[in-house]
A and B are shown apart, each in its own frame.
Chain A
Amino acid sequence: MIEPAISFNRVSKTYRTGFWGKSFIALDDLSFEVRRGEILGYLGPNGSGKTTTFKVLLDLIRPDTGSITVFGGPADQQARERIGFLPENPYFYMYLTAAESLHFHGRLRGMSRDERKSRIPELLHLVGLDHAEGRALRKFSRGMLQRIGIAQAMVNDPDILILDEPMSGLDPSGRKQMRDIILGCRDLGKTVVFSSHILSDVEVMCDRAAMIRQGKLQGIVQVGEMLDSRITHWEISCTNLPDASRYAGCIAQQTKNQLLLKVGDEAEAKNMMWDIEQSGGRVLSFGPLRTSLEDLFINQSGE
């Protein structure tokens, strides 16, 4: 069996807030695996424990119980050599320039000067910042910092990328670029875990999606398989119907000259469509309706 890239085994963490220790459960018996080479979306409302999960993995926070393995070994300093991390709203040393900052991180990751010299211009190009190489980070916009953040995470070409809200602060072209970078990582066989609030990104990019709420894992779903199983009904919109009352039970929406019909079963829907055409009506559109991840997510989180 191939070792998973990351494995959380019954990890729990309770924070004490205030002096007298009013406690707050951040992670509650969390167990799941991230497979090698997959892109895993990590979803959950604000304060549900997404960032804590990442911090526990990176040893910034020590769990109360449970353990984490990275490629089968302990999640220690050595393991962090294979993990690139982009924190939520990344903060950098603002007095450094873009290139200086990447050199600094390269050094912290044990890269030699030659390695850095060839890798860093490449990365700046990849994230679209080659024009800003010598500019101090304090003059960077939010989106540019996000780009430096992803470049920093990838500086030593790690096998795993942990991205905390990678899309936040980016403009549409930045989002597309980030999406391309993430998908490009999959092509290179890398494992990517990212948290996001934007579910369409998760739907488009992820192999699987995990959901967490109040520190508890709600489940992991296979995004691709779900596309079929999530069809709830079929929709037909049509016009010029001589006798709309025939379909009274299915009408979802009726305007002056258009009708929107909802049918639960595919065969029945196709029959109905044929029927409409026979009676002189005209079908404008026909297609399946899916519960989006968003619905699924909202149902699960019960909000």
Chain B
Amino acid sequence: MQKIVAIALNTFRESIRDRVFYSLLAFALIMLAFSLVLGYLTVGDEIKIIKDFGLAAISLFGVLIAIFVGISLVYKEMEKRTIYVILANPISRYQFVLGKYLGLSLTLLVEVVVMTAGLFALCYLKQQAIPWDLFTAIVPIWFELQLILAVALLFSTFVSPFLSGLCTLAVFIIGHLTLDFKQLVANLDSSPLKMTADVLYYTFPNLEILNFKARVVHGVDIALADFLFSLAYASCYTIMILALALFIFNRRDIR
């Protein structure tokens, strides 16, 4: 365990000493500020626009960080050959991969916390109250980011960063569309299309299940069971993908 923690803390240190992380974080905070402008320009409920936009920014930039930092996670170690020195130590491959994952997970936590604080500050500025209920949307966002990170890690163990970036992005997009697609073709009379929709739906994670943003912003009631189910769903998926990544990485030759 000490070894996993050592790798995790080191990975965390690496990512917070990385310029990409800061530029993304800075850009994300600018986006938040931009929601103020957008609020002015829109007729209607200004605070809703800010919340809507803010949650979208947390999710989008979280995914960008997960992808940008996550894809290079293992691959970069191999490319820069730092991995030889690390794995020659008495640590197992699974300790290495888990450590890397947890380190980045921590980085994402920092991102989400900083952005949430920014969003709360904006809301406080507007209505002198902190919208704690937004956590109902933010916690599932964090779980989604964990899942995306695991996917990025999985690809990172066997393909180049560029390709794994594309693949992870594809999983993210498909994951958000598969439910819509399935429902769309359900009314059609084409069985190949239906089959495709089914295959997509059952192989890719259904990320829409973790999207509570609109409901939270518009004050729609959310059943606790739905909420917990979505978190459990994401956790199971994350663990499965991590296990697959470990399995692949464990069989690899580190040449």
Contacts and interface: CB of A to CB of B under 8 A. Distances in A.
Interface of A: 15, 55, 58-62, 77-78, 80-81, 83, 85, 87, 89-93, 95-96, 104-105, 107-110, 149, 152
Given A104-B6, A107-B2, A108-B7, 5 more contacts: A60-B87, A60-B253, A85-B85, A87-B88, A110-B3
Contacts of A81: 90
Contacts of B89: 80, 105, 108-109
Given A92-B82, A107-B3, A110-B3, A58 B88 contact: yes
B81 A87 contact: yes
B225 interface: no
A77 B255 contact: no
Given A15-B255, A104-B10, A108-B6, A80 B82 contact: no
A108 B10 CA distance: 11
19 contacts: A55-B255, A60-B88, A60-B253, A77-B92, A85-B84, A87-B84, A87-B85, A87-B88, A91-B80, A91-B82, A91-B84, A92-B85, A93-B10, A96-B10, A107-B2, A108-B3, A108-B6, A108-B89, A149-B85
A104 B82 CA distance: 13
Interface in B172-186: none
B86 interface: yes
B199 interface: no
Contacts of B10: 93, 96, 104
A6 to B, nearest CB: 14
Interface of B: 2-3, 6-7, 10, 13-14, 17, 80-82, 84-92, 251, 253-255
B22 to A, nearest CB: 14
A107 B6 contact: yes
A105 B87 CA distance: 11
Contacts of B80: 91
B80, B82, B90: residue with the most chain A Cβ atoms closer than 10 Å: B90
Nearest to A63: B253
A95 B14 contact: yes
Contacts of A58: 87-88
A93 B90 contact: no
Nearest to A54: B88
A77 to B, nearest CB: 5
A195 to B, nearest CB: 14
Nearest to A84: B88
Q: Which of A61, A104, A149 has the most CB of B within 10 A?
A: A104
Closest 7 A-B residue pairs measured CB to CB? A85-B88, A107-B6, A80-B90, A108-B89, A60-B254, A81-B90, A91-B81
